[in-house]
């Protein structure tokens, strides 16, 4: 049997988990927290609620709540300056992937010299950052349980993927109740992101029996739980199932890594500052079509887990997989075309070059040439 490595943070899952933020910060020895979030979560009231919990536990904190939807290098640099100038010694993120990835970037710069781009790629961070407590507010990004940070470099119009065990948070407080304030569009986009995490982790050439367990469980949950959560934001059973699916998919992809969908979505998101979940939804069917011949058994397992038709008894092919996934994405209130985001034919080769340099492409089940990646993009226009 091959050796298997599996990284995971400590996590507390369930209604009210967020209320443990102050206690865990204190247990980690925090004397002054930098609280990282965004304006939307301030408006939703979650930042004020958790700040009150910190005060109850006697944990001083400094807010940094100006994180962009696609967190930028500049966000991390500014946060690191505030972290140092205010004498902070620990981090607390409140939010989805954006605040959590920004907090990870701040952690890198608090312990290592800049620039942040020096740590792009896999296992390039020499010194661990400060303790990090995460309160996720979406059900999909899974940054709270992963070893990934995705940061946008505005000047070069690209997203950097930083992957390291140093980025695994110390504690994730996964509270489904917090996800009730997501609107239907965000619920859909983040839920489809979780779906793609699970699919890509399962077909990854770095998958293992342990990651498979988590990926398949997420795939079984999402097709029924996500529509219910979109239809009724206050359906706590559906919200809990989606929070669990996000966690399961995150544990899978953090260890099996991802594939061409994410590599290509990162390229589009970096170039056009586009929403990550939407990019994934647009790209998933055509990437599956191209990948299918290299991992037919794996894709048929995916089809069985999410209930796609035509794959019983080992049937189905890449064309059917693309059509069925496109229909599934539509049923999850997502999809569309890359042209809706401003992508044109002139952008295809530059985007393909960016995608091929992304670490997620290393674990895709097949190797693509630049022209093949550009062709997949073209089919998604």
Alpha carbon dihedral 179, 168, 26, 56, in 10-degree steps, equals -10
Q: How many domains does the chain have?
A: 2
Q: Say yes or no: 359 and 370 in one domain.
A: yes
pLDDT digits (tens, 9 = 90+) for 21-64: 999 999 999 999 999 999 999 999 999 999 999 999 999 999 99
Domain that holds residue 154: 10-179
Q: Are strands 158-163 and 132-136 parallel, antiparallel or unpaired?
A: unpaired
Per the CB < 8 A criterion, the answer to whether 282 and 338 are in contact is yes
Q: Say yes or no: 163 and 303 in one domain.
A: no
d(CA 328, CA 285): 10
User: What CATH number is given to the structural domain containing 113?
Assistant: 3.40.50.1970
Q: Say yes or no: 94 and 216 in one domain.
A: no
Asked whether the predicted pLDDT for residue 3 surpasses 90, the reply is no
Which of 122, 155, 179 delimits the end of a domain?
179
Q: Say yes or no: 61 and 155 in one domain.
A: yes
Whether 4 is in a domain gets the answer: no
Global model pTM greater than 0.85: yes
Which of 179, 195, 210 delimits the end of a domain?
179
Place of tokens 């304030």: 181
Please give the share of the chain, as a percent, with pLDDT higher than 70.
100
Beta bridge partners of 61: 33
d(CA 189, CA 329): 10
Which of 162, 179, 196 delimits the end of a domain?
179
Whether 298 is in a domain gets the answer: yes
pLDDT digits (tens, 9 = 90+) for 134-164: 999 999 999 999 999 999 999 999 999 999 9
Whether 295 is in a domain gets the answer: yes
Strand order in the sheet with 10-13: 10-13, 171-174, 132-136, 90-95, 33-36, 61-64
């Amino acid at each position: 049997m091959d050796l298997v490595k599996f990284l995971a943070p400590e996590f507390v899952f369930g209604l009210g988990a967020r209320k443990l933020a102050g206690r865990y910060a204190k247990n980690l020895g925090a004397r002054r927290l930098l609280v990282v979030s965004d304006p939307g979560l301030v408006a939703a009231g979650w930042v004020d609620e958790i700040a009150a919990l910190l005060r109850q536990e006697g944990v001083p904190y400094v807010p940094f709540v100006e994180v962009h939807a696609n967190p930028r290098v500049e966000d991390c640099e500014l946060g690191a300056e505030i972290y140092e100038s205010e004498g902070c010694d620990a981090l607390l993120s409140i939010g989805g992937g954006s605040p959590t990835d920004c907090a990870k970037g701040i952690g890198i710069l608090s312990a290592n010299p800049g620039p942040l781009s020096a740590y792009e790629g896999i296992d390039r961070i020499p010194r661990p950052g400060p303790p990090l407590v995460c309160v996720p507010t979406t059900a999909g990004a899974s940054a709270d349980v992963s070893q990934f940070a995705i940061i946008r470099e505005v000047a070069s119009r690209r997203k950097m993927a930083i992957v390291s065990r140093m980025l695994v948070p110390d504690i994730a407080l996964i509270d489904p109740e917090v996800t009730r304030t997501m609107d239907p569009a965000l619920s859909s986009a983040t839920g489809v992101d979780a779906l793609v995490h699970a699919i890509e982790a399962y077909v990854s050439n770095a998958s293992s029996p342990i990651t498979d367990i988590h990926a398949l469980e997420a795939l079984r949950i999402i097709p029924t739980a996500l529509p219910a959560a979109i239809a009724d934001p206050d359906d706590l059973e559906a919200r809990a199932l989606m929070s669990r699916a996000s966690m399961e998919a995150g544990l899978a992809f953090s260890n099996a890594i991802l594939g061409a969908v994410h590599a290509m979505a990162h390229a589009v998101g970096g170039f056009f500052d586009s929403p990550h979940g939407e990019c994934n939804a647009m790209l998933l069917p055509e990437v599956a079509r191209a990948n299918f011949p290299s991992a037919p058994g794996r894709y048929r397992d995916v089809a069985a887990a999410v209930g796609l038709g035509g794959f019983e008894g080992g049937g189905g092919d890449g064309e059917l997989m693309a059509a069925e996934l496109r229909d599934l994405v539509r049923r999850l209130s997502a999809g569309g075309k890359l042209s809706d985001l401003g992508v044109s034919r002139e952008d295809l080769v530059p985007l393909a070059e960016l995608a091929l340099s992304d670490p997620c492409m290393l674990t895709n089940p097949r190797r693509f040439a630049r022209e093949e990646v550009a062709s997949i993009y073209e089919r998604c226009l």
